A and B are shown apart, each in its own frame.
Chain A
Amino acid sequence: EVQVLESGGGLVQPGGSLRLSCAASGFTLNNYVMRWVRQAPGKGLEWVSSISYSAGSTYYADSVKGRFTISRDNSKNTLYLQMNSLRAEDTAVYYCAKCTNFYFDLWGRGTLVTVSS
C-alpha cells in the first residue's frame, strides 16, 4: 500500500526543538518532491517546506525560515523536519505529503506538535 506515516510530534517548551519523521512505503521517496504542511487547531492549511527530488533544493515558508530544516534519507525512504526555536504559533498538526507537480496527492495522518510551557 502506498502511504506516508508521520511521527515525532509531542509537547515541547517554547525555544525547544523537535524532529519530525515521515516514513514512506509503497513508493520511492527519491522520485518525488516532498512537502510539509501544517494546520493549527481549528484553522486552515499552511505550506511549511518542500524538498526536491535530489534534495538539492529546499524551500521554506517565511514563518519558519531559519528555524526549520527539511531533509531526506533515501536509504531509509524517510523525510524529516528539524524544528528549532519553536514558538507557540508553531502549534499544529504537521502533515507530510507526496507531491506531483504542484499538488499534494498523498497525505499522512499527521503528527501533533504542541509548543507550550
Chain B
Amino acid sequence: EIVLTQSPATLSLSPGERATLSCRASQSVSSYLGWYQQKPGQAPRLLIFDASNRATGIPARFSGSGSGTDFTLTISSLEPEDFAVYYCQHGGIWPLTFGGGTKVEIK
C-alpha cells in the first residue's frame, strides 16, 4: 500500500498570502496524484488531477506540480473561502489511498 504523507499538518496564513502544501508518496505514483478541498460539514471537492490539471470550475489560483514521489499544491493568493482541509490522493495502484490532510487556517 502506498502511504501519502502530507505536510505541514496545519498551515496558518492570512488572506492574500501564498500557501504551499506538500504530499510525499512512499513509492512512485508517476503523475497519478489528485488534490481535494474539504470544508467543515461538506464533502470533498476535486481540485487537481494528474498532479497538475485543474478540475472543471477550479480557479486559476490553485496549481499543482510534481511527479514520482513529491508533489505540491500551491494557492497563489488565499481567498477567505480557501481556508479548509486539503487532501492528496494517488491513483493507479490498488488500493487507492489518501494523505492525512493539511488544514489551512486563518492566522
A binding-site residues for B, Cβ under 8 Å: 35, 44-47, 50, 59, 61-62, 95, 100-105, 107-110
Specify the main secondary structure of chain A where it touches its partner: strand
B binding-site residues for A, Cβ under 8 Å: 32, 34, 36, 42-46, 49-50, 55, 87, 89-92, 94-101
Contact B34 A102 (CB under 8 A): yes
Inside 8 A of A110's CB, which chain B residues have their CB?
Answer: 43
Contact B45 A102 (CB under 8 A): no
Inside 8 A of B43's CB, which chain A residues have their CB?
Answer: 95, 107-110
Given A44-B101, A107-B45, CB of A101 within 8 Å of CB of B96: no
Given A102-B34, A103-B34, CB of A45 within 8 Å of CB of B91: no
CB closest residue in chain B, given A46: B98
Inside 8 A of A103's CB, which chain B residues have their CB?
Answer: 34, 46, 49, 55, 89, 91
B30 → A minimal CB distance (Å): 11
A112 → B minimal CB distance (Å): 11
- Complex partner residue of B100 from A44, A62, A105, CB under 8 angstroms: A44
| 12 additional A-B residue pairs with CB within 8 Å, beyond A102-B49, A104-B46 | A44-B100, A44-B101, A47-B97, A59-B95, A101-B49, A101-B91, A103-B49, A103-B91, A104-B89, A105-B55, A107-B43, A109-B42
CB closest residue in chain B, given A109: B43
- Complex partner residue of A47 from B42, B45, B96, CB under 8 angstroms: B96
A105 → B minimal CB distance (Å): 5
Inside 8 A of B97's CB, which chain A residues have their CB?
Answer: 47
- Complex partner residue of B46 from A46, A105, A109, CB under 8 angstroms: A105
- Complex partner residue of B87 from A44, A50, A59, A61, CB under 8 angstroms: A44
CA distance A109 to B49 in the complex (A): 21
Inside 8 A of B32's CB, which chain A residues have their CB?
Answer: 102
Identify 9 residue pairs between A and B in the complex whose beta-carbon atoms are under 8 Å apart, listed by A's number.
A100-B49, A101-B49, A101-B91, A102-B89, A102-B92, A104-B34, A104-B44, A104-B89, A110-B43
